[in-house]
Amino acid sequence: MSFKTMRRKTSSSAGRRSSTTRRRSENLRFDEFGFALTKRKDQKLHHRCHDYSFTQLSSVRVKELCELLSYWNGGSFICKSQIERFIRMGIPQSLRGRVWKCLLGIDSLRDTSDFSYQKCLLEVRVPLVDLGVSEYGILSAIATLSETQNHLGLNLGEGSGAPVPRYSADDITVFRQIALDLQRSFPTHRSLMGDSPEAIEGQAKLFRVLIAYAKYSPQVGYSQGMSYLAAVLLMQLGEEEAFWALTALLDKPKYLTELFDLNLTRVQHQVKVFDQFLKHRKPLLSQHLESVGVSSVHFVMPWFLTLFTSLPCWDSVLAVWDLIILHGLSAVFRTALTLVELLESRLMDLTDEGAVLPLLLRVPFDVSKYAVFIPALWNTEVQDWELKCMSGLVLDESHHGPGQCQEQKVTPSAQASGGKENENVQEGEKTAEKESVSGAKSVLTRVMRLAQRYLADQRGRQRTEGQGAQTQARTRQRSPAPARVFRSRTGSSLTQSQRKVTTDDVGFKQSYGPDHEGEASREALLSSQWCRGAATMSLCQMQPEEVTAQNRISIGQARDL
C-alpha cells in the first residue's frame, strides 16, 4: 500500500470521527464560562462542576475598576495595591482580560520586541503547506503528521533526486505534539469542543499561538502543559494578545520562567522546593505521604505545568490565575500549599497509594469550591525570601547530599602528610566555612546574614527619615502653617517612597473610599515580621543539640526584633 493511499484512508477515518463528534455536540448547553452542561455522570467523567459560588461585584465597584484600568500604570504602588483589592473581591468575567493585559504588560512587551507574530505565522505556513497540513483540520493533521513521521523518520530529504524539504524532523515532532495536545485541552469547552465552526476556529488559534511561541523561544520550545495555558489565555484575550500574554508568563522571571524548559529540569527543581515547604509546614503529612509511597512529583508537577486548570470549579481556577498573574511564582506555591492543607485530614486517613494519589490529582468538588478554596488561599502566605531559602536548600542538598555536616574534618592521613597537603586542607576548611552547604545550620547562617543586612538598611533609612523629619519640623516653625496638614503614619519603618504613597493616597481615597486604608503600610508590616519569620523557619529545621551558643545569641537577637 502506497504512502498516499494510507494518508487518504487515515484522513477519511478522521473525517468520520469528526462527524460523529459533531452530532454528539449538537443541542448542548453551556455555562457562563463556556463549559458544556452534561449529565451528572458525564460531569464526574470529565471532573467538571458547574455549581459556581464566586462573588459578583456591584455596579459601583465595576465602575471603579474600569476607572482604575483606564489610567493604569504598572509601576505605581497605588495601582497594584488597588488591583489586589479588586482581585480579592473578585474580578468580573467581562473585565478579566483587561486586568490580565495590564498586569502582564502585554502592550509594552509587544512594542519593545523585534518579533512579529504575523510574520512568524507566514513563515510557519510554508512547512505546513509542504506537509499538506492545515490548522483547521486537527484530526487529519494528526494523521498526516504521524504517517509522515513514521514513513520518513529521521531521513527527511535524503535520496537521489529528492527535493530538499522546507521542514525538519523537529518541525514535524513539534507540529504533531501540539496537534495531539489540542485534543486533550478542555475537550468540553465550547471553543475547543467538537466540530462546530467556533471549535474549529478555536483549535486553529490555539495551534498558531503555540507554534509561534515555539519559534519565538526555541530554547524553551514547546512542552506539554503549554496548551492549557494558551487555551485559558485565549478564553480571555484575542489571538495575538494571548500569544504575548503567554510570552510574558513564560519569559518574565516573576512568573513561570522557573517551570518550563526543554527537558523539564526546572519544574523538577521547583517540585523539590515544594517538597521542602511541605516538610517544614506539614511535617506529619509529608512523612505520611512518604510512608504510603506518594512523592510530590506525582501530583505537584501536573499542578504546576497546567497552573491548576484541572480543578473542577472553573471560577476557582480563574481566581487562582488572577492571583498568579498578580504575584507570580509565589502564588503558585500558595495555591499548592492551600490544596494540601484542605486535603490534609482526608489524606491522613488513607494508607493506600491507590487512594491517596487520585484524591490529589482529582480534587473533590467541595474542596475546590470558590467559597471554600479562595478564602483559604488568601490566608496562605508564601514570601519570596522563603522561596529563595528553600531553593538554596534544595541546591545544597543536590550538591552535598542531605544531612551532611558543613564542617570538613582533617583526616589522620592528611595530618601525617604535612607540607602542602596540610596547607591545602586548611585552605579547604576556610573555603568550606564561606560556602553555603546543606543542613539547618547553613540555612540559619544565610537567613541571619540577610537579616543583619536588612536591619542595617532599615536603621539607615530610619536615621535618614528622622533627620528629614527634624528638618521639616524646623521648616514648619519658620513658615506659616498650611491650610491642611496630613497626619503622618505612626512607626518609623516606612520608607520615603511609602511616605510619598501615603500622601498621594489621600486623593485616591476620595474616589475609592476608605476600605483600602492601610494598604500602603502592608509592606512595612511584612518587613517588621521578616526576621522573626526567618529565625522561626530556621529553628524548625534544627535539632536542639545542634544549636550552638553562638546560634542561640543570633536567634535571640532575631527574636528581639
Report CA Rg, the chain: 28
Q: What is the per-residue pLDDT across 205-232, written as a single tens digit (0 to 9) for each?
A: 999 999 999 999 999 999 989 999 999 9
Instruction: Judge if 128 and 231 occupy the same domain.
Output: yes
Q: What is the per-residue pLDDT across 240-258, written as a single tens digit (0 to 9) for each?
A: 999 999 999 999 999 999 9
Q: Could you tell me if residue 476 is inside a domain?
A: no
| Cα–Cα separations (whole angstroms), residue 487 to 497, 499, 506 | 16, 11, 11
Instruction: Judge if 355 and 503 occupy the same domain.
Output: no
> 289-321: buried (b, 16+ CB within 10 Å) or exposed (e) per residue?
beeeebebebbbbbbbbbbbbbbbbbbbbbbbb
Task: State the pLDDT at residue 516.
Answer: 44
What is the value of pTM for the model shown?
Answer: 0.71
Please answer whether residues 211 and 133 qualify as being in contact, where contact means their C-beta atoms are separated by less than 8 angstroms.
no
Q: What is the per-residue pLDDT across 9-57, written as a single tens digit (0 to 9) for each?
A: 444 544 544 444 444 555 789 999 999 997 766 665 678 899 999 989 9
Average pLDDT over residues 150-163: 58
Q: What is the per-residue pLDDT across 334-363, written as a single tens digit (0 to 9) for each?
A: 999 999 999 999 999 999 999 999 999 999
Task: State the pLDDT at residue 187.
Answer: 93
Q: Strands, DSSP E only, in 416-548?
A: none
Backbone dihedral angles phi then psi of residue 155, each to the nearest 5 degrees: -105, 40
Task: State the pLDDT at residue 148.
Answer: 85
Instruction: Judge if 173 and 298 occupy the same domain.
Output: no
Average pLDDT over residues 137-142: 91
Task: State the pLDDT at residue 27.
Answer: 73
Instruction: Judge if 235 and 286 occupy the same domain.
Output: no
| Cα–Cα separations (whole angstroms), residue 181 to 174, 224, 228, 472 | 11, 7, 9, 64
Max Cα distance, the chain (Å):
100
CA 164/CA 156 separation, integer angstroms:
8
Give the Cβ contact number of residue 502 at 10 Å: 16
Q: Could you tell me if residue 247 is inside a domain?
A: yes
Q: Is 220 exposed, middle or buried (0-12, 13-18, 19+ CB in 10 A)?
A: middle
Backbone dihedral angles phi then psi of residue 192, each to the nearest 5 degrees: -135, 0
Average pLDDT over residues 5-9: 46
Instruction: Judge if 7 and 123 occupy the same domain.
Output: yes
Instruction: Judge if 119 and 228 occupy the same domain.
Output: yes
Q: Could you tell me if residue 299 is inside a domain?
A: yes
Instruction: Judge if 178 and 313 occupy the same domain.
Output: no
Task: State the pLDDT at residue 442.
Answer: 52
How much of the chain, in percent, has pLDDT values that exceed 90? 54
Instruction: Judge if 444 and 529 occupy the same domain.
Output: yes
Instruction: Judge if 307 and 247 occupy the same domain.
Output: no
CATH classification of the domain holding 227: 1.10.8.270
CATH classification of the domain holding 330: 1.10.472.80
Instruction: Judge if 309 and 192 occupy the same domain.
Output: no
| Cα–Cα separations (whole angstroms), residue 372 to 299, 313, 315, 402 | 21, 11, 12, 37
Q: Could you tell me if residue 71 is inside a domain?
A: no
Please answer whether residues 186 and 192 qualify as being in contact, where contact means their C-beta atoms are separated by less than 8 angstroms.
yes
Q: Could you tell me if residue 233 is inside a domain?
A: yes
Which residue range forms the structural domain that includes residue 274? 265-373
Q: Is the pLDDT of residue 179 over 90?
A: yes
Q: Is 511 exposed, middle or buried (0-12, 13-18, 19+ CB in 10 A)?
A: exposed
Instruction: Judge if 446 and 535 occupy the same domain.
Output: yes
Q: Could you tell me if residue 368 is inside a domain?
A: yes
Q: Where do the H-state alpha helices sit in 353-411?
A: 353-361, 365-368, 370-378, 384-400
Q: Is the pLDDT of residue 470 over 90?
A: no
